Structure 1
Amino acid sequence: AFNRIIKQVTEYNPMAKILGVTVQPMVKNDGYALLIGAKKHPVFGPVIFFGMEGVAIDLFRDYAIGIPPLNQTLARRLIEETKVYRALKGDQGYPAANLKFLEEILLRFSQMLVDFPQIAEVEISPLIITDKEACILDAKIKIDNDLLFRNPAPHEHLIISPYPKKYETLWKLRDGRTVLLRPIKPEDEPLWLEMFRNFSEEAIRFRFFQIIRDTPHEVRVRYCNIDYDREIAIVAELNENGKRRILGVVRISLEPDKKTGEIAFIIADPWQGLGLGTKMVDYAIEIAKDMGVETLYAIMLPDNYKAINLVRKMGFKLQKLEDETIKGVLNLKEEEMPPQVVAQKDDAEMSETAPIQEQVKT
């Protein structure tokens, strides 16, 4: 075989300089042939597609698409959305593929797209996977030449920002237990649902302005799977004896200019009175400053006295709206002024110890 290759090359180009040949082992396993690819969309940035390799992806349209960055939950959902998933988990009489390994491959593929904005297209086809191993038989990458000699800003090529790990911090409750304050993740959906079931009717009404009996999957996804560039939600996670719980959530939803945001917060009833609400709102304000937000506002029902008192103590200026709700507004740029300047501007503000009714401007 070697002599035949050398002879053919020499006949084609007698001047060719041959340094050697590449020898690869023949793949003989009977695994599943899959395709993993991505293409940069002008609006959505990199778009990942996954499915069965070969004519099945076109003939049966057996593929799913996702937007990086993926996490383990999103990677699993991408796999589950395809018809080949039934075969991969062993439902059709064949050995199951190693789905955990496949998830890890998708996670690394997604991370490659996050780390290298220069990638315009990439295709791995086929990827052969069994219950024990995976092997790439062919792959190709197309480079965006316009980005080769430019240093793009971090993640500017992504429509969804990666998980902001820098916003993770530990804090002690008044009873001495430690909670982790961190951004919410898509995989928090079961924990979010458990937290929701710990809300009293009053707490639900104060947070959602109506009584909600149930939250279907579509609603929970909206609260847990967010774009961190347009919205930030911080949860308080307690881990005791191997059991994780979410005790409360504070959320900032940014307006299109990203300079103004609405803040909303809720602490599950069993965990109120431990200083957590004050801490979470204060922490969310610091994160808003870091994100370049200039104004925060909160809308509250008029009988939500705890929330009204809390935001007032945080410096929000209160006013009553036409629908009888209370709006609190915090100027973050003003907070950055020297204390004496703020004091001069606030000379006319009402005393912090005055009754709530006296402090709400109509």
Structure 2
Amino acid sequence: MRLPAPGDILVVAPNFKRRLSGVTSTIVQLVPEQAKRLPIAALGPGLPAHLPKLRWRDLLRFWRKPPTKPFRIWHARRNLEMLPGILLRDVLRMPLRLVFTSASQRRHTGYTRWLIRRMDAVIATSARSGAYLTVPHTVIHHGIDLARFRPHPAGAAVARAELGLDPAKRAVGCFGRVRHQKGTDLFVDAMIALLPRHPGWQAVVAGRATAEHQGFETALKAKVAEAGLGDRILFAGEHRDIERWYRALDLFVAPQRWEGFGLTPLEAMSCGVPVVAADVGVFSDVVSAACGTVVPPDDLPALCEAIEPFLADEPRRMDAAARALAKAQAEFALAREADEIVAVYERLWADGGSAAKSSSTTGVRP
């Protein structure tokens, strides 16, 4: 993607964590879509080569206003990125306005509230996230790159063969960081209970266990081995091309104990995969009864009870898969998210940067 001249950039999307995370995934997907509408660039380490990116020294150009707008926009998604924006705007006096996207569904710390109060506009990724904010905000749900997350044209069995999985066995997956909060242990326990009764199925855990959670992952692998299911429950690790793994699935499970938003059910449904999800984040808003099942969080019996019908009843699973894909295509388009975010930027530019100062200038999207 061709990068505009640094001086022409209107929006900066900082990403200051090298480790892959949900926030990083959002930036990687969203920035190219936003770049179709306005000059935007990411800033930070560990970002893929195809993204339009700024160098740190390019920030020196930001003391001058951009040629077409009264200021640039710094769109932060973490505390780590809000603070530098405040310093650039308030200490170095650059013509910047600050936007923050909040996905958290818990009470913010005093420090985070202090940072958020200094933003010029705030976006919440769901109504639940917005309920924890004390400032005016706009609710904008995440979207998915439907060109990237789509069913395999030759079917899931071919996708499994391409990944070295058994193409003759259907696959149920749980993707994301491997840790207690993500409920990886609940998924493993459910598979240990269910797979012996369903010999035509295999399970895949895809995601990274960071250093502090490697003991957790090791214990799960030991439990799988003790159950004699080491050949049917695969720990695939972290993959940048995770869409290939979604395409190999016939069912997706999102067993999180807590989640701010959670993209994985959207990504699975966009690949034509039905979902069983815990009632956290926006999962209950995304996963309807027609395309999956929502269960209480941290409830292993309920999780097993919800998963098993999809393993046992192929017509039901196929119907839910078709409905999941149709819902994703109708509601999850990344273009819709990009349009709504750009509308927040445009309000800031039109209002001279004061859109977050009064509730009358920021709407809450239902």
TM-score by length of 1: 0.26
Q: Which has the higher contact order (CA 8 A, sep 6+)?
A: 2
Instruction: Name the one with the larger helix percent.
Output: 2
TM-score by length of 2: 0.26
